[in-house]
Amino acid sequence: MICLVALAFAAIFARQVLRAETGSVKMAEVAAAIREGAEAFLKRQYSTIAVLAIVVAILLFAAYMISGSSTTAWQTAVAFLLGAFLSSISGIIGMWISVRANLRSAAAATKNAGKAVVLALRGGAVSGLTIVSLSLLGVSLIFYAFGADPVTTPFLIVGFAFGASFIALFAQLGGGIYTKAADVGADLVGKIEAGIPEDDPRNPAVIADLVGDNVGDCAGRGADLFESTAAENIGAMILGVALFSVFGMNGILFPLVMGAFGLIATIVGIFFVTEKLADQEDPMKALYRGFFVTAILSAVFLYVATTWLLNNNIWFFYAGLVGIALSIVFVYLTLYYTDHKYRPVKSIAEASKTGPGTNIISGFAVGLETTAVSAVAIGVALIVSFKLGEFSGVTNGGLYGTAVATVGMLSTCAYILAMDTFGPIVDNAGGIVEMSGESEETQKRISRLDAAGNTTKALTKGYAVGSAALAAFLLFSAYMGEVSNLTHKPFVSVNLALVPVFVGALLGAMLVFLFASLAIRAVGETAQYIIQDVRRQFKDKGILEGTVKPDYASCVDITTKGALKNMILPGFIAIAVPVFVGFALKYEAMAGFLMVATITGVLMALVLNNSGGAWDNAKKYIESGALGGKGSEAHKAAVVGDTVGDPFKDTAGPSLHVLIKLLATLTLVLAPLFI
Amino acid sequence: MICLVALAFAAIFARQVLRAETGSVKMAEVAAAIREGAEAFLKRQYSTIAVLAIVVAILLFAAYMISGSSTTAWQTAVAFLLGAFLSSISGIIGMWISVRANLRSAAAATKNAGKAVVLALRGGAVSGLTIVSLSLLGVSLIFYAFGADPVTTPFLIVGFAFGASFIALFAQLGGGIYTKAADVGADLVGKIEAGIPEDDPRNPAVIADLVGDNVGDCAGRGADLFESTAAENIGAMILGVALFSVFGMNGILFPLVMGAFGLIATIVGIFFVTEKLADQEDPMKALYRGFFVTAILSAVFLYVATTWLLNNNIWFFYAGLVGIALSIVFVYLTLYYTDHKYRPVKSIAEASKTGPGTNIISGFAVGLETTAVSAVAIGVALIVSFKLGEFSGVTNGGLYGTAVATVGMLSTCAYILAMDTFGPIVDNAGGIVEMSGESEETQKRISRLDAAGNTTKALTKGYAVGSAALAAFLLFSAYMGEVSNLTHKPFVSVNLALVPVFVGALLGAMLVFLFASLAIRAVGETAQYIIQDVRRQFKDKGILEGTVKPDYASCVDITTKGALKNMILPGFIAIAVPVFVGFALKYEAMAGFLMVATITGVLMALVLNNSGGAWDNAKKYIESGALGGKGSEAHKAAVVGDTVGDPFKDTAGPSLHVLIKLLATLTLVLAPLFI
């Protein structure tokens, strides 16, 4: 129900955005090129993924049949396909609106910044609400379709989460490779070789770069958080099964209800970001206000939901508050480490004075350092929510405490997603404004929004990592529960002191490193294609003189092909290694693999995301005039750092979030084969 | 006995080296400056560490008294001090000979390369043999001194290993910070600002740089492997206790005997590197020949030892062979990833063509990739040696199988150490030759040796990581055995599915990231002091004109103070975090902490060491004339990569090896407090 209401609101926001003015003809032309490029990429990407998904569905079906679980075989395969389908749909809707909102936001920015902020955020909200509602709807639908038996059905729908993970992996990998390859390619030839500014219309790769912002940040992160919601719901439902004797159906439905409440909180939060306020103040301040409204409302709803569904047990309410608090902590941590106002970014900028070498060293040191407080925060949240769950007096309440914390953290998910999609929309709007040669004033106005967009993108990544860490713990328990069910004996210990479990853990950590390596390398390889194409086009002198229009479509096409080709190897490794380890070392080693891969993946994602964000903002800080400003030696060094950070923060880091959840859902689905 | 023989051989090698010619007066002058600098650093470093060690010994004593283990309190404290003392002594002896061998090797290089190789390797062998013999002697002495009760004594001597770890931590950290800060400082002001070549006598920091090679690679790595040997012996002895009923005392003495056999194998191996052969061929080939002789002889001795001490159980012989094989695998893996003949370094050099950004990205991707095969190799070695141990038919033989594999791997330790110390000796010889203005031909000859030295240093690091991973598994078992003893109930499961254990594991992985961050940052901070001092000295125009002699001692002094000051924070964190986690989350969580810290530490050390080595050799490859050679844009980019790689491979990476073992011995010693 609430999901449908939320979808209705999404539609209303979409209409508002679409009705807004579309600005000059030139703007519309640029936007049309971006839209076409993005749609062409999505079309080709999803047809590739669809084929892969059907193959996997058949393999899944076959594997279940062989392992003798013929009754659940079709259910798992169907759930998988539905998860994959809904994830794709929500990705497509999100893209559809964002490649339209960019133009409207750009047009609005010619007049005032407030309207641009509101339009971009509402465009983002369309994504956020759609993604979260479809995820909830999908889980609920399939839960009722498969019989709604409280004890067995949750296990049947794990396929749904795996389907969502599967799409997310390729959407994030393909999108992440696309966006950074286009960026690096455009910059290397355009800025460095030809000496023209960023987003210059003479650069043939510039449209591909703007398309990349959408397919990476928007479609990629959307799929990422679609699956976070799906995985969290299913994990929490499976834990609810264990507490069936205490809460009945309510324990299983609780996560779904809180998800729906979160949607309402988000809608209200969005309305608190008004044109008037956003125009007068720093755009970040307006966005934060909306976030806090959402968080506070979520806390209120949490109280309602625990009172109503969880026997009025106040301890679970406290556990949920821990989750909401953790989401706030992660937002501020990311801010501290990636904003130029604080020590870390300043120290990188300072280090740029002695060249690119020291810039890189100090940025990498900052990235490594970010893991410290983050890991402590996650650890404290886990322990405290577990203890609170134990205080509830319910048997096995501890684990359910961590589940409620995860539910609490993810209740603000739709708002965070709206802020995230705000990023590529204003980034694109900036590109459109620059390419259509708008006034200096408009450019200034939009570049302030662009900076805010960079911050929101960084915050979302921090949030995504934190929620992945919490959700993962749920999924471990779900996996162990499933293995117990299948083996008919309790599986409660993952003993790292056993050689196979230790080796599994070692290989799990290794997979994270290897996957990051392959993702980073894929960007480099794809960028080579673009570099060659741009160089080829620049041979026509007319392009650089501005008399001949460059062939944007050729760059878009080449990037699309390159990204799709290069996402295959890391994608394959991400699936093949756990399957191999599971078969070879069996289920307990697999649990060790999963847990240590999660730990390492969370920390490595933090390193990559935050070092990348810090390098980016150190560069921006210098460009704003500090330490010699644009063109100084320090600036040149900072540009190198930014280039290094790009594939870290926009390809490898976000792909790791997805990898973590993929591993969890993959092991859940394949558990029958690892026994 | 054999240890004494080995020490005698060390003395003979030392006499041979000292008797060799010392070359021109100018050479002797340079060498004297290096020697004085190194000795000044060591003196100040060890006096700092001595104070810390005494404080820790008192704290240890107090902690044991409070926790009610008053009988073992003084034994642990004494063992700690002895471990610390012997480790320091062997570090000092190693340094003493290497700052003398450098001059002799340089003098020999004026005539032929073969003599220089032999002198440098024998100088290295003095270190290698001394370190390993003193480690064995110490363990044996204290074993007998504490009563040689086979069942309880091994637990009493864990303090010895902790003492060795404690020294190793500060020796490696202090030395690593010193060497890279001096290097970065000398290069940034000398090469980049003043435009004078590397090792130019006009650069005031050049002597500090040469001193750094000794205190980092020589004293640091020596302490690292001293404690590997100590920890491995004690770990294996504790496992031997569990098999007392099967093998009696022999199972406990086996590791000591094999250690002694390894010394003999090394001495023979050293003799196979003759002047004649080393002159005619690639120096690496000569060094490899010696290594293979040592490895084959070790295998033979292994057969003898298993037949004699382990009831002629052939399965343990096979398990030991696995360890020797692993040492060879690691040597070749490192070679593949860091030699310019193969794909990885070539790809980095290729990426340098498009600037420093792509150079860094591709080098980091290579570093991450190296974890894959290495982790698989460690995993296979653990599983196979465990299975072989099980095949032996001895109860709990599996774990002892992994112990024998570790013993096998470490039997070539003294030779590897000799090769490692070969590195700084020829590096120094190169510096001496350059600074004293020897002929072109001599410079060429020595620079070939210098390149070989870089390779041997990289190989040793690979070996050190691999052996740390194997030895760590022993130490986990030892820790669990000790906890069982203390709690009088079996402690056999480290259950990652428990919240505190999972959080412990998360914090363990985090410590690795944080420690690496602090170590890298310490280099940057220390380098700042040197940069300022060199800039100050360059204000006197006479220095750059070559008419005024720069004040080398001032740079040496400043680097010493800076390195010692900046090693305190990472050192403190390395000890404080595990102590805190152990107290707060108790012994099982501590085991999770230790195991996951080990996994992450091994992988991260591989990333840092190998990416650093690959960047270094990509630069050298370009300097040899490829892709435009010196002065090209690609070369400039490669120099940036090399600068970034320096603190990775020479400070953070090696310090992580030590951290891993420190954590293991620390938990062993403090186990009574975590219960």
Instruction: List, in sequence order, every residue forming a beta bridge with A495; answer none if it has no partner.
Output: B495
Neighboring chain A residues of B354 at a CB cutoff of 8 Å: 188, 531
Is A188 part of the contact surface with chain B (CB cutoff 8 Å)?
Answer: yes
Q: What is the DSSP string of A461-512?
A: HHHHHHHHHHHHHHHHHHHHHHHHHHHTS-----BTTSHHHHHHHHHHHHHH
State whether B640 and A477 contact (CB < 8 Å). Answer: no
Measured CA distances, A494 to A390, A476, B379, B548 (Å): 21, 10, 18, 68
Per-residue pLDDT at A381 = 95
The residue ranking higher by pLDDT, A662 or A109, is A662
At B495 the three-state DSSP class reads strand
What is the arithmetic mean of pLDDT over B9-23? 73
Q: Provide the percentage of residues in chain B whose pLDDT is more than 90.
A: 33
Per-residue pLDDT at A547 = 83
What's the rounded Cα separation, in Å, for the pair B320 and B402? 8
At B375 the three-state DSSP class reads helix
**CA closest to B496 among chain A residues:** A494
Residue A7 pLDDT > 80: no
B59: which residues sit within 8 A by CB, 6+ positions away?
none
What is the arithmetic mean of pLDDT over A592-609? 96
The one-character DSSP state at B540 is: S
State whether A355 and B517 contact (CB < 8 Å). Answer: no
Measured CA distances, A317 to A249, A304, B75 (Å): 18, 9, 52
- Please write the tens of the pLDDT for every residue from B311-337: 778 899 999 999 999 999 998 898 899
Instruction: Give the confidence band of B343 by pLDDT, cuts at 50, 70, 90.
Output: very high
A399: left (phi over 0), alpha (psi -120 to 50) or beta: alpha
Is B576 part of the contact surface with chain A (CB cutoff 8 Å)?
Answer: no
Per-residue pLDDT at B399 = 87
What's the rounded Cα separation, in Å, for the pair B519 and B571? 9
Q: Tokens standing for B578?
A: 């595990």
Most trustworthy range by pLDDT among A394-408, A529-543, B137-151, B597-611? B597-611
A517: which residues sit within 8 A by CB, 6+ positions away?
B365, B366, B367, B368, B369, B372
What's the rounded Cα separation, in Å, for the pair B674 and A278? 54
What's the rounded Cα separation, in Å, for the pair B259 and B176? 28
Shortest distance, CA A475 to any CA of chain B (angstroms): 11
Q: Tokens standing for B503?
A: 């959080």
Shortest distance, CA B602 to any CA of chain A (angstroms): 9
Return the percent helix, strand and coil in chain A, to nearest 5. Answer: 85, 0, 15
Per-residue pLDDT at B618 = 92
What is the arithmetic mean of pLDDT over B531-550? 84
Per-residue pLDDT at B2 = 62
**Do the beta carbons of residue B651 and residue B523 sit within 8 Å?**
yes
Residue positions counted in chain A: 675
Which of B256, B24, B11 has the alpha carbon at shortest distance from B132? B256
Q: Give the mutation candidate from B360, B373, B374, B378 for the A interface (greatest A CB count, under 10 A).
A: B360
Which of B365, B379, B523 faces A520 most closely, judged by CB atoms? B365
**CA closest to B380 among chain A residues:** A503
- Residue type at A339 in one-letter notation: D
- The Cβ-side half-sphere exposure at B1, using a 13 Å CA radius, reads 3
**CA closest to B519 among chain A residues:** A365
Range with the poorest average pLDDT among A94-108, A208-222, B236-250, B285-299: B236-250
First to last CA, chain B: 40
What's the rounded Cα separation, in Å, for the pair A474 and A660? 13
Scanning A477-516 for CB atoms below 8 A from B yields 477, 480, 492-497, 499-500, 502-503, 505-507, 509-510, 513-514, 516
Please name the helix (run of DSSP H) or strand (run of DSSP E) that holds residue A350, with its range, or none.
Answer: helix A343-352
The average confidence (pLDDT) of chain A is: 87
The residue ranking higher by pLDDT, B430 or B239, is B430
Shortest distance, CA A388 to any CA of chain B (angstroms): 13
Q: Tokens standing for A359?
A: 């810039």
Scanning B344-373 for CB atoms below 8 A from A yields 351, 354-358, 360-362, 364-369, 371-372
What's the rounded Cα separation, in Å, for the pair A405 and A316? 8
State whether A510 and B477 contact (CB < 8 Å). Answer: no
Neighboring chain B residues of A643 at a CB cutoff of 8 Å: 355, 357-358, 361
What is the arithmetic mean of pLDDT over A302-314? 87
**Do the beta carbons of residue B379 and residue B387 sit within 8 Å?**
no
Q: What is the DSSP string of A130-145?
A: HHHHHHHHHHHHHHHH
**Do the beta carbons of residue B83 and residue B162 sit within 8 Å?**
yes
State whether A496 and B355 contact (CB < 8 Å). Answer: no
Is B396 part of the contact surface with chain A (CB cutoff 8 Å)?
Answer: no
Instruction: Give the confidence band of B515 by pLDDT, cuts at 50, 70, 90.
Output: very high
At B274 the three-state DSSP class reads coil
Per-residue pLDDT at A649 = 92
> How many of the other CB atoms lie within 10 Å of CB of A644?
28
- Residue type at A514 in one-letter notation: L
Strands (E), A138-228: none
Residue B114 pLDDT > 90: no
What's the rounded Cα separation, in Å, for the pair B480 and B474? 10
**CA closest to B184 among chain A residues:** A358
Residue B1 pLDDT > 70: no
What's the rounded Cα separation, in Å, for the pair B29 and B656? 36
Range with the poorest average pLDDT among A43-47, A89-93, B437-441: B437-441
What sections of B243-282 are H helices per DSSP?
244-247, 249-271, 275-280
What's the rounded Cα separation, in Å, for the pair B370 and B334? 8
Neighboring chain B residues of A603 at a CB cutoff of 8 Å: 509-510, 513, 600
**Do the beta carbons of residue A114 and residue A287 sit within 8 Å?**
no
Which of A322, A517, A330, A319 has the alpha carbon at shortest distance from A400? A319
Residue positions counted in chain B: 675
Q: Which residue has the tokens 């086009």?
A: A537
A558: left (phi over 0), alpha (psi -120 to 50) or beta: alpha
Neighboring chain A residues of B607 at a CB cutoff of 8 Å: 513
Range with the poorest average pLDDT among B268-282, B292-306, B597-611: B268-282
Shortest distance, CA A493 to any CA of chain B (angstroms): 5
Which of B116, B101, B136, B115 has the alpha carbon at shortest distance from B7? B136
Q: How many CB pairs under 8 A join A and B?
A: 230
Per-residue pLDDT at B3 = 61
Shortest distance, CA A217 to any CA of chain B (angstroms): 21
A425: which residues sit within 8 A by CB, 6+ positions away?
A98, A101, A102, A105, A120, A123, A124, A453
Per-residue pLDDT at A545 = 82
Which of B293, B207, B318, B254 has the alpha carbon at shortest distance from B552? B207
Shortest distance, CA A653 to any CA of chain B (angstroms): 13
Q: Provide the percentage of residues in chain A whose pLDDT is more than 70.
A: 98
A190: which residues sit within 8 A by CB, 6+ positions away?
A196, A198, A200, A203, A205, A206, A534
Is A628 part of the contact surface with chain B (CB cutoff 8 Å)?
Answer: no
Neighboring chain B residues of A494 at a CB cutoff of 8 Å: 495-497
> How many of the other CB atoms lie within 10 Å of CB of B546?
12
Range with the poorest average pLDDT among A492-506, B95-109, B148-162: B148-162
Per-residue pLDDT at A674 = 83
The one-character DSSP state at B672 is: G
Q: Tokens standing for A656?
A: 């790791």
Residue B382 pLDDT > 90: yes
Most trustworthy range by pLDDT among A53-57, A239-243, A449-453? A53-57
Instruction: Give the confidence band of A319 by pLDDT, cuts at 50, 70, 90.
Output: very high
Neighboring chain B residues of A355 at a CB cutoff of 8 Å: 188, 192, 640, 643
What's the rounded Cα separation, in Å, for the pair B663 and B511? 10
The residue ranking higher by pLDDT, A202 or A242, is A202
Most trustworthy range by pLDDT among A199-208, A328-337, B145-154? A328-337
Strands (E), A236-330: none
**Do the beta carbons of residue A262 and residue A411 sit within 8 Å?**
yes
Shortest distance, CA B100 to any CA of chain A (angstroms): 34
Residue A3 pLDDT > 70: no
Instruction: List, in sequence order, every residue forming a beta bridge with B495; answer none if it has no partner.
Output: A495
